[in-house]
């Protein structure tokens, strides 16, 4: 029989009161266990989203600045359902022939004309053939025509022929890897790189334009021309000249894009601000709730122990009359509170894993807002209306993954929770225990 026996007996003797204290402390400790990982997760997601938005904004700006002298011309989508799936090659945009190339080159102030070839998916083929010119460095004036997110192997480079870069979904569908041989419309290509699939690019096999022409038997033709002019001032006059060649041509230019981009940028900026304010809201709400939980534990323990000390004044007097030191009295009351908190934290840890997602969403703001113009795709990618601005890079906005909000309680956080519970138990019981220890035995004996 020692101090621990006395403490446990007393807890057991006051079962109802002890249970109420354990329950209250348990609820508060559950918050303390659940909130930090949830806040951390949400803060990470939100910060990451903010970073993505800022990067995206920068990318858009630099891309448009780069292509300020660029004019893109193509035929619009003119889908003929009767054609779909009937042949090996399907040109959704309509083809522009070699004479169009010559006409474009002959327009004054035009510096370079880059043909792009792109067919579409057919019933027999679940990927597009995308031909890009790889003849010389001027063909790379618009880097966005090239595969942009190589995850294995390498990108296409000047002089490449007989090689392709495929997106990872197509690679999976056709069991391809870097170095694989791939039959495209009867010709063997070697896979030199795998790029990440993106909604803007779609399922796509990218190769040298010459190769694409050869296998599709469309030499000299293009689905899109990139026209670069000598200086920004000439863009409008060149656009007018191109439009006069064929009114059906859809023309977009860097200058036109700039207008759209300013709208996009303000939209991005709005989203960034919104996410930043969400981030600070998550942090301040979480911090307030943590403080409240800490206060709840301390106050509960404090009042319970004050009540207990008052109720057991005579027992304290008796113990002191028997020669108990202040330390023994202090220890007994603090140990009682600490033991109650220990029981509470064990229960709190047991239930935290189950209630974490629910509590987390009840107590904290959602991390990332989906703003106007943003459409969520699987795996957390967001597609930001690329067609309207002629910019086709996918925005990766975290927070919408399938495993979204999967914060977990680690062994470290469990240990921390136990430590915090012991500390709060000690803190809450310190004043009542000191009060008990300092009780004058004669006064305690007189207490009724």
| Contacts with another protein, residue ranges (CB under 8 A) | 1-2, 5-6, 9-10, 12-13, 314-315, 317-326, 328, 440-442, 445
Residue whose CB is less far from another protein, 190 or 326: 326
| Distance, C-alpha 242 to centroid of its chain | 42
Least distance CB 11 / another protein (angstroms): 9
Minimum CB distance to another protein, residue 311 (Å): 11
**Is the Cβ of residue 10 or residue 151 nearer to another protein in the bound state?**
10
**Cβ proximity of 268 and 56 under 8 Å:** yes
- The residue (of 2 and 81) whose beta carbon lies closer to another protein is 2
Q: What is the DSSP letter of 135?
A: S
**For another protein, the closer CB: 88 or 441:** 441
In the complex, the smallest distance separating the C-beta of residue 24 from another protein, rounded to whole angstroms, is: 23
Nearer to another protein, 247 or 323 (CB): 323
Burial 309-340 (b: 16+ CB within 10 A, else e): beebbebbbebbeeebeeeebbbbbbbbbbbb
Work out how close the CB of 447 gets to another protein at its nearest, in angstroms, rounded to a whole number.
Answer: 11
* Residue 13 or 183 having the CB closest to another protein: 13
> Which residues are registered as beta bridge partners of 374?
384
Q: How far is the CB of 41 from another protein (least distance, A)?
A: 45
In eight-state DSSP terms, residue 122 is -
**CA 346 to CA 69: how far, in whole Å?**
66
Minimum CB separation from another protein for residue 17, in Å? 13
Say how many Å lie between the first and final Cα of the chain, rounded. Answer: 28
- Pairing state between β 187-195 and 150-153: antiparallel
CA distances from 75 to 44, 131, 224, 349 (A): 44, 17, 8, 62
């Amino acid at each position: 029989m020692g101090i621990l026996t006395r403490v446990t007996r007393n807890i057991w003797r006051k079962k109802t009161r002890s249970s109420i204290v354990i329950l209250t402390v348990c609820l508060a400790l559950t918050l303390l266990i659940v909130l930090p990982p949830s806040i951390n997760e949400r803060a990470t997601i939100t910060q990451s989203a903010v970073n993505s938005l800022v990067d995206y904004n920068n990318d858009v700006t630099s891309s448009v600045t780069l292509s300020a002298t660029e004019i893109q011309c193509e035929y619009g989508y003119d889908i003929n359902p009767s054609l779909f799936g009937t042949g090996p090659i399907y040109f959704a945009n309509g083809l522009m022939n070699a004479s169009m190339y010559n006409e474009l080159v002959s327009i004054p102030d035009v510096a370079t004309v880059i043909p792009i070839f792109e067919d579409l998916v057919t019933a027999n083929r679940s990927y597009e053939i995308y031909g890009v010119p790889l003849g010389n460095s001027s063909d790379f004036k618009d880097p966005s025509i090239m595969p942009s997110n190589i995850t294995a192997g390498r990108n296409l480079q000047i002089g490449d022929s007989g090689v392709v870069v495929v997106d990872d979904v197509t690679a999976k569908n056709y069991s391809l890897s870097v170095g694989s041989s791939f039959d495209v419309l009867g010709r063997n290509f070697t896979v030199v790189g795998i790029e990440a699939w993106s909604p803007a690019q779609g399922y796509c096999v990218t190769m040298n334009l010459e190769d694409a022409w050869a296998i599709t038997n469309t030499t000299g033709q293009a689905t899109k021309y990139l026209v670069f002019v000598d200086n920004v001032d000439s863009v409008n006059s060149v656009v007018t000249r191109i439009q006069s060649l064929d009114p059906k041509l859809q023309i977009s230019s860097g200058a036109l894009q700039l207008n759209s981009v300013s709208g996009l940028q303000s939209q991005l900026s709005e989203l960034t601000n919104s996410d930043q304010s969400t981030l600070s809201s998550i942090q301040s709400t979480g911090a307030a709730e943590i403080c409240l939980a800490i206060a709840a534990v301390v106050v509960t323990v404090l009042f319970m122990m004050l009540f207990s000390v008052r109720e057991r004044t005579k027992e304290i007097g008796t113990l002191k009359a028997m020669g108990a030191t202040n330390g023994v009295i202090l220890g007994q009351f603090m140990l009682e509170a600490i033991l109650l908190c220990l029981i509470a934290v064990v229960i709190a840890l047991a239930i935290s894993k189950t209630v974490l997602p629910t509590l987390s969403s009840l107590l904290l703001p959602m991390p990332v807002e989906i703003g106007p113009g943003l459409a969520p795709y699987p795996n957390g990618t967001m597609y930001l209306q690329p067609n309207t601005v002629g910019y086709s890079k996918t925005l990766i906005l975290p927070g919408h993954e399938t495993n979204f909000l999967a914060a977990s309680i680690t062994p470290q956080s469990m240990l921390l929770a136990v430590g915090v519970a012991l500390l709060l138990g000690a803190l809450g019981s310190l004043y009542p225990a000191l009060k008990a220890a300092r009780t004058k035995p004669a006064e305690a004996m007189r207490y009724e």
